[in-house]
């Protein structure tokens, strides 16, 4: 493995760093306070080619590697985790199954426009009684000769109110395993339910969604009946690696603000950054952040080399998410009362970082899975 970024990767990193510094950070507090989907920034991210980075050129993408995608996502999260979460949904879970299994019509009418940010997609997995336990999903798709009838309730659906299409995990007749369906949101029987207010990532809107006997043509089955779980596993490692990249981004923002504050805040006749206690705390934060960053780069490299990465992806997601929450908490401690004030962004980092503990699997589930991978 070469630890040096190549010219393309450096250019991607610099492009998104500049975009975040100039366009995202100045309005990050505003979009968090409004709790509204960041349409304008979302479209600008689309103009930068982000949504197509991980897809081949022949289907309308840019054919970038996973490392470049992770670098861009980390920068977006450094500016606004709300924006980054919405963009990750669009570019990964929201469009992947259309790319893998969509017919020409679906690809032309939905997938290609989504890569430009002209249409928005999301995935519907979680249910009121099925979170970590996806095999408990009760949404059903009854099988008929020329169509399916989809019925069920989903919750915690990212970008639900603004989505043009969903990919939905459901259980078909007399089949224990899950299947995946393409569902345009304008179909009769699709209802966007109540908004779920959240502590953090508040501009990444989240809602309940219900499907009341939604008629789906057979061509809206993505893949084969009963292979939904298998197909989800194909991208599960990348979901976890990129959730870790989100954690690195928000942790970077917290560390940068902590260092700047420690240089300028004077107590007892000198900047607090000169105090041993603050030096030690900042150093510990930096070590956790750099460890997370290197783990993300390594696991992204494993993706690019098509090497086994299930265990490593779970490890990086577990470590980076816990590290980001620790870093953001320490940032609030360094800033003391100002870390508790809504006028400073560090409280937003602290709130947003909680999101990374949940997406891609909770720490508790990951620890059990890692132990299983180790033979226990």
Specify whether 107 is located in the same domain as 211: no
In a domain, 262, yes or no: yes
Q: Which of 172, 191, 226 is the last residue of a domain?
A: 226
Q: How far is CA 239 from the centre of its chain?
A: 7
Integer-rounded Cα radius of gyration of the chain? 21
Specify whether 267 is located in the same domain as 323: yes
Specify whether 99 is located in the same domain as 146: no
User: Within 10 A of 15 (CB to CB), how many other CB atoms are there?
Assistant: 16
Q: Which of 115, 139, 170 is the last residue of a domain?
A: 115
CB 300 within 8 A of CB 307: no
In a domain, 277, yes or no: yes
Specify whether 89 is located in the same domain as 126: no
Specify whether 154 is located in the same domain as 66: no
Number of domains composing the chain: 3
Identify any residues that bridge with 122 across adjacent strands, giving them in sequence order: 166
- The Cα 61–Cα 367 span in angstroms is 35
Which residue in this structure is represented by tokens 């979170």? 131
CATH number at residue 54: 1.10.540.10
Q: Report the pLDDT value the prediction gives residue 132, as an integer from 0 to 100.
A: 84
Q: Report the pLDDT value the prediction gives residue 133, as an integer from 0 to 100.
A: 84
The DSSP element (H or E) to which 12 belongs, if any, is helix 7-19
Residue of higher predicted confidence among 177 and 107 = 107
- The Cα 3–Cα 168 span in angstroms is 38
Give, as one character, the DSSP assignment of residue 124. E
Q: Report the pLDDT value the prediction gives residue 224, as an integer from 0 to 100.
A: 93
CATH number at residue 267: 1.20.140.10
Specify whether 290 is located in the same domain as 367: yes
Specify whether 192 is located in the same domain as 127: yes
Which pTM does this prediction carry? 0.96
Q: What is the mean pLDDT of residues 221-233?
A: 92
- The Cα 247–Cα 296 span in angstroms is 10
Specify whether 219 is located in the same domain as 269: no
DSSP for 164-217 reads SEEEEEEEETT-SSEEEEEEETTSTTEEEEEE---SS-TTS-EEEEEEEEEEEE
Specify whether 233 is located in the same domain as 369: yes
In a domain, 203, yes or no: yes
Q: Which of 115, 149, 175 is the last residue of a domain?
A: 115
The DSSP element (H or E) to which 18 belongs, if any, is helix 7-19
CB 354 within 8 A of CB 323: no
Could you give the C-alpha distances from 319 to 130, 160, 230, in angstroms and in order? 25, 29, 25
Domain hosting 184: range is 121-226
CATH number at residue 209: 2.40.110.10
- HEC string of 33-94? HHCCCCHHHHHHHHHCCHHHCCCCHHHCCCCCCHHHHHHHHHHHHHHCHHHHHHHHHHHCCC
Specify whether 208 is located in the same domain as 186: yes
In a domain, 204, yes or no: yes
For the cut 80, the answer to whether the pLDDT of residue 175 exceeds it is: no
In a domain, 189, yes or no: yes
pLDDT by residue (tens digit) across 248-303? 999 999 999 999 999 999 999 999 999 999 999 999 999 999 999 999 999 999 99
In a domain, 141, yes or no: yes
Specify whether 233 is located in the same domain as 345: yes
pLDDT by residue (tens digit) across 1-47? 778 999 999 999 999 999 999 999 999 999 999 999 999 999 999 99
In a domain, 1, yes or no: no
Average pLDDT, the chain: 96
Q: Which of 158, 167, 173 has the alpha carbon at shortest distance from 211?
A: 167
In a domain, 2, yes or no: no
Q: Report the pLDDT value the prediction gives residue 174, as an integer from 0 to 100.
A: 67
Q: Report the pLDDT value the prediction gives residue 11, as an integer from 0 to 100.
A: 98
Encode 244-276: b = buried (16+ Cβ within 10 Å), e = exposed. bbbbbbbbbbbbebbbebbeeeeeeeeebbeee
Specify whether 133 is located in the same domain as 241: no
């Amino acid at each position: 493995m070469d630890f040096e970024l190549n010219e393309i990767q450096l250019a991607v990193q610099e492009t998104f760093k500049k975009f975040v510094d100039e366009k995202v950070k100045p309005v990050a507090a505003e979009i968090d306070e409004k709790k509204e989907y960041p349409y304008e920034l979302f479209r600008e991210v689309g103009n930068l080619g982000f949504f197509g980075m991980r897809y081949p050129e022949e289907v309308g993408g840019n054919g970038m590697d996973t490392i470049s995608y992770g670098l861009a996502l980390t920068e977006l999260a450094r500016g606004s985790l709300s924006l980054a979460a919405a963009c990750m949904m669009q570019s990964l879970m929201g469009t992947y199954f259309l790319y893998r299994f969509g017919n020409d019509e679906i690809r032309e009418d939905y997938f290609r426009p989504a890569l430009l940010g002209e249409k928005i997609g999301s995935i519907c997995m979680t249910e009121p009684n099925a979170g970590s336990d996806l095999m408990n999903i009760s949404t059903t798709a009854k099988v008929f000769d020329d169509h399916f009838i989809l019925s069920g309730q989903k919750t915690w659906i990212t970008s639900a109110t603004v989505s043009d299409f969903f990919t939905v995990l459901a259980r078909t007749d007399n089949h224990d395993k899950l299947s995946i369906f393409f569902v345009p949101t304008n179909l009769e029987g699709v209802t966007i339910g109540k908004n779920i207010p959240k502590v953090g990532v508040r501009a990444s809107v989240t809602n309940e969604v219900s499907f009341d006997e939604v008629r789906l043509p057979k061509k809206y089955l993505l893949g084969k009946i009963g292979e939904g779980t298998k197909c989800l596993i194909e991208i599960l490692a990348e979901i976890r690696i990129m959730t870790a990249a989100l954690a690195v981004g928000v942790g970077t923002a917290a560390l940068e603000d902590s260092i700047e504050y420690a240089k300028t805040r004077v107590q007892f006749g000198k900047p607090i950054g000169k105090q041993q206690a603050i030096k030690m705390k900042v150093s510990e934060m930096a070590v956790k952040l750099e460890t997370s960053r290197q783990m993300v780069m390594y696991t992204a490299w494993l993706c690019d080399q098509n090497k086994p990465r299930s265990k490593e992806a779970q490890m990086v997601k577990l470590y980076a998410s816990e590290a980001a929450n620790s870093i953001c908490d320490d940032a609030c401690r360094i800033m003391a009362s100002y870390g508790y004030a809504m006028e400073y962004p560090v409280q937003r980092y602290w709130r947003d970082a909680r999101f990374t503990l949940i997406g891609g699997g909770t720490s508790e589930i990951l620890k059990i899975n890692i132990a299983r991978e180790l033979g226990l």
